[in-house]
Amino acid sequence: MDQFIQQIITGLSIGSILLLVALGLSIIYGSMGIINLAHGEFVMLGAYAAWMFQQRFGLGLIESLAPIFLVVAVFGFVIERGVLSFLNNRPLDTILATWGIGVILQQAVRLTAGGELRYVQMPESLSGSAEIFGTSVSLYRVFLLVAALALFGLTWLLIQRTATGMKLRAIIQDRAMASAFGVNARRVHGLTFAYGAGLAGLAGALVSPLKSVSPEMGTGYVVDAFMVVVLGGVQSLVGTVFSAFILGELSSVIAFLQNDTVAKTLVLVAIVVLIRFRPEGLFTTRLRT
């Protein structure tokens, strides 16, 4: 029984990290149709920003989350307005452009911060553990789960309950019609991309105490993020949440029975088989036609 509870908690922990990393990509890919291969590098920038704020300014991780979100969001806004906004309806060019931006960001960080591994200190107040159903659980992993669900709730409210979110939904339905009613699609897309980039930066900062920080760390995360978004269904935020925790629990169980490498391989195979027969993913959002 203890092992069963431990595996459930481990799966929730993995799922919360997947949700953190995939949430920003879900916003960008689902609402703008941009296959952003630089998403992992936005995660990496957030992790390096957390390290820099600790080393240069003495800020703790929690205190630095807001400035990290703003820094990476502004960076994403500049990229969208300076590059991607000129590539509308050119998906192949967008893929190549974001891939190139990712490579540039990796090399820029390597030149400025060095290629060696960096480490971000965990908040002291969250470095302990707690007993849940008789099982010892890291407080920081519980914090990650709460943070992931809180960010999802905030994102859902922004899209469903704000004027900007309503304009974004109108553009997704019919961009030409929304523009005819005075919606500035370029501005909304810029803000949306910036918000998705900011979320990726937050994800990088939050996972940085658990992982070593390096210029290449985003490569693995972008694969995980696409797995979650594709499985959950494009344009479905709720699907992103469910798919993150499904993949988290599945990875946890397979890793317990075999190892992490086998778990990663079998999860990828399962997703390929699933999208072969259900390319729209597990959850779909109905659009008016």
CB proximity list for 150: less than 8 A, separation 6 or greater: none
- pLDDT, residue 286, reads 60
- pLDDT, residue 2, reads 67
CB proximity list for 229: less than 8 A, separation 6 or greater: 22, 25, 26, 29, 30, 240, 243
- pLDDT, residue 178, reads 84
Q: Which two tokens stand for residue 286?
A: 């109905």
Give residue 269's Cα distance to chain centre.
22
- pLDDT, residue 281, reads 80
Q: What is the mean pLDDT of each run of 10 residues along the chain (289 residues)?
A: 75 85 86 88 95 92 94 95 88 93 94 90 88 82 91 92 87 82 88 93 92 89 85 82 87 82 85 83 66
- pLDDT, residue 287, reads 55
- pLDDT, residue 288, reads 54
Q: Which two tokens stand for residue 156?
A: 């859902």
